[in-house]
Chains A and B, each alone.
Chain A
């Protein structure tokens, strides 16, 4: 748990690094951070909140940096911003009683909550159901609900999800205010479209077309693709759940559904995407050049990837084993993992997703406010405006 001194040191280091970056700006083709930085003369605490979450941690700027260690300036922007970013999750977490403590930088909190959720799901079933039901074969409509009643699944998961969505909403609102006042004169809708496109394509992991440095100084699109597999895998799984809900309540068709039904196809494809995405991202992390990585945060990264992997793998396992005696156990494990994931959403690295989106939206609004001009407004309007060439625009 970082103390106040650590926070001060982390913020001061990030500010020092960003001010040197702003004087250089050679990396301005890589991502949105540099354009946003360019429009600032000095870096405030609100700017740190904004820029650290706008950073996608692609590390291209580290490998391109003329001042990276062993240079005496010792610049490591991805690492510096990672540490600030982790701090912003803690500063804006909801409820406020958790501020400064959650999300932890390690994996233990996520693991503990997930285990508790698994116990919450499994214990009532184990204690109340006879063994022949629990370890029996089940098929036909309603097979799952003979083990765990639909009302219990929907009620508990719904309540936890509702809490988590509320908590994330409050966190994002606090974070939005933490980025400072929104730029005047920017229309929200076009900016939202740009932010959606940036998030959906992970444009900022594209490194200006070359891809990013997921492992070392060589560019690659691997990280972007694995993240797409994970993100769209999760989306497909939610789509599967949505379709299944319509089937059940709208059409009266109860789960489990046949292999070639829409919920199973969507969920199966989504599950495979999640397994591929989480595995790929974890392998990239393992093999990454340690230089630009904030090692203290890898526990939290690993916890989210691990949990998502287990959620997907247990779902696929349930699909594979649903005709066997293992179905009951698989179902309880899968539901427990899903519940654990829902419960930890506002208190894990998952927060990077809504915060990143909010930062992308803010960046899009700023770009609109700036129009096509790149230069900041003259800071002292009382004096005659002077044309000021953009920094770092030449080699001299």
Chain B
């Protein structure tokens, strides 16, 4: 990137190093642009939240080697509307249509998918699974990007965007180096790893959150785009969350810290009181159902409590259960008032009817209600694990970042979680974030290349 009188260091500059960024870089490079990709993480931890992903949700009208059955566009749009509410219909429609060939496009760029005939996979007519998971996808896309000649810089966190005078530019690292490009793709994720920003939105509860993905999603480019007049979409005070073991790492815990057993026992807050129907959600969305509930508990912590009989019915946490021979001792070990937990358990046991639910009880448990009787008793501390925040910038169908008046920021494109609320609102649909990243990464890369080479 010698400065040969040309004010630009490259044609397309990609900020970010996850799935969306890689798709953008590859698409732009294939369109003939000179591309520079800036990944904030070191090489060993590259790939953003895609490192922790598993599958992607794709529309298809007939079975493919990777997805069973069919998942027509109308079904996909209906699922989106259910979780996202009122989003940009035109962009959502374009997204769903473009998802149809994204698996083939990724496969053509080295990503391997798991055959849906593989007996180990759960049945899915909606999602294609990455063979080896998201890090294998990330490895494959980096290898392809390198082979195509994309310049990749690790340990390169972007400190500032400069979008006013001339072509877009970014300042990287400390001390700052400014890189100028003809076109920019921002694919840097949400801001969940900025503890200060999260605390401003959630109060002190945010300090108890576990960040399930990359520690580099600090939202600096997102904040800069908003400051430059990009229209916000989604909401700053909403996150996609799941219930995780309270002993999960502060960052990067990924999928394995999710707690499975919640529906089988009872869940109490730090005062020893039940606060929700544990049997309400038992399907795959049981993880997300509890994320926000626990986030809004006093102290943003809760406890999943079970007995020796119940604990055999779910996958144990990767962390050992906290055990005691009596409910009072268990409460003491958890830092809960023993009489409060004893009263809760006694009341719950007494309310159980023969039909697997409770009669009365506050709140009732409508399914899987079993008495907590057989020592030793066990518990897991539960906290909210944040996948990503739900604040983004408005884009059009060409992934151009838009101002409130509908005009585009010159040469600035966005892909992935930084624009996902255009499609997902503040909701979440399993496997869809990876599709947003790949679909809009590809669009953003092509559009940025076209803009740069115009």
Which residues of A come within 8 Å of B, CB atoms?
19-20, 22-30, 34-35, 38, 41-42, 60-61, 63-67, 69-73, 207-210, 217-218, 367, 372, 374, 378-380, 383-384, 386, 388-396
Number of interface residues of B (CB under 8 A): 56
> Whole-angstrom distance between the alpha carbons of A386 and B434 in the complex?
31
Q: Which residue of B is nearest A34, CB measured?
A: B120
A66 adjacent to B133 (CB under 8 Å): yes
B370 adjacent to chain A (CB < 8 Å): yes
Can you identify 24 A-B contacts, CB atoms within 8 angstroms?
A: A22-B315, A23-B255, A24-B255, A26-B135, A26-B255, A27-B133, A29-B115, A29-B129, A30-B131, A35-B119, A42-B316, A60-B132, A66-B51, A66-B135, A208-B115, A208-B132, A209-B115, A209-B131, A210-B131, A380-B313, A391-B260, A394-B431, A395-B53, A396-B428
B309 adjacent to A70 (CB under 8 Å): no
Given A26-B134, A208-B112: A388 touches B428 (CB 8 Å cut-off): no
Which residues of B come within 8 Å of A, CB atoms?
44-45, 51-55, 112, 114-115, 118-122, 127, 129-136, 139, 143, 242, 249, 252, 254-256, 258, 260, 264, 283-285, 287-288, 309, 312-316, 318, 356, 368, 370, 387, 428, 430-431, 433-434
B285 adjacent to A217 (CB under 8 Å): no
A380 adjacent to B314 (CB under 8 Å): no
Most buried by B among A35, A42, A73: A73
> Whole-angstrom distance between the alpha carbons of A69 and B44 in the complex?
8
> Whole-angstrom distance between the alpha carbons of A30 and B115 in the complex?
11
A-B contact count (CB 8 A): 149
B134 cross-chain contacts in A, Cβ below 8 A: 26, 66
Most buried by B among A19, A35, A66, A72: A66
B252 adjacent to A71 (CB under 8 Å): yes
B430 cross-chain contacts in A, Cβ below 8 A: 394-396
Secondary structure call for the B interface: loop
Given A60-B132, A396-B242: A41 touches B285 (CB 8 Å cut-off): no
B433 cross-chain contacts in A, Cβ below 8 A: 395
A19 adjacent to B132 (CB under 8 Å): no
Known contacts A26-B54, A384-B356, then 12 further A-B pairs from the complex at CB < 8 Å, ordered by chain A residue: A20-B318, A24-B133, A25-B120, A26-B255, A28-B121, A63-B139, A64-B136, A70-B45, A393-B122, A393-B284, A394-B431, A395-B55
> Whole-angstrom distance between the alpha carbons of A285 and B118 in the complex?
30
B139 adjacent to A41 (CB under 8 Å): no
Most buried by B among A386, A392, A393, A394: A394
A70 cross-chain contacts in B, Cβ below 8 A: 44-45
Cross-interface CB contact of A27 among B132, B143, B258, cutoff 8 Å: B132
B53 cross-chain contacts in A, Cβ below 8 A: 395
